Amino acid sequence: QVQLVESGGGLVQTGESLRLSCAASGSISSINVMGWYRQAPGKQRELVADITSGDNTNYADSVKDRFTISRDNARNTVYLQMNGLKPEDTAVYYCNVKGRRKGRTTYGYYFDDFDTWGQGTQVTVSS
């Protein structure tokens, strides 16, 4: 099993900053893509930013030049630095991690893919 623990959400005013963290743990063999998604009330979940194992990043147009995603491979952790927050950034933010996990049976080891979501952390930006 792979577990994700998110932290860093909260209530801020327009223009302020927050930093989200998401740490992955469990039977992880390798991590490919780590990303952040968000879902506002009444809207579909959308990609905010993601980062590959080669540090290639991808951002939603609405957050470019304000948000920065990064990862610490030694800690299996992904961060989202959010600057210049706006009321429209208000949402529940979810971490998503994709990779390969390692398991063991009585017959030996096996590897399979995982695609795991965090529990979500609330970000509220007041005007």
| Residues 104-121: tens digit of each pLDDT | 889 998 899 999 999 999
Whether the CB-CB separation of 3 and 14 falls below 8 Å is answered with: no
Give me the pLDDT at residue 1, please: 86
Number of H helices, E strands in the chain: 0, 11
What CA–CA distance (Å, rounded) separates 54 from 108?
30
In a 10 Å sphere around its CB, with 0-12 CB exposed, 13-18 middle and 19+ buried, how is residue 55 labelled?
exposed
Structural tokens at position 112: 């399979």
> What is the number of other CB atoms lying within 10 angstroms of the CB of residue 88?
10
pLDDT at 2 exceeding the cut of 90: yes
Residue range 56-110, pLDDT digits in tens: 999 999 999 999 999 999 999 999 999 999 999 999 999 999 999 998 889 998 8
> What is the number of other CB atoms lying within 10 angstroms of the CB of residue 50?
21
Is residue 81 left, alpha or beta, with left meaning phi > 0 and alpha meaning psi from -120 to 50? beta
Whether the CB-CB separation of 88 and 66 falls below 8 Å is answered with: no
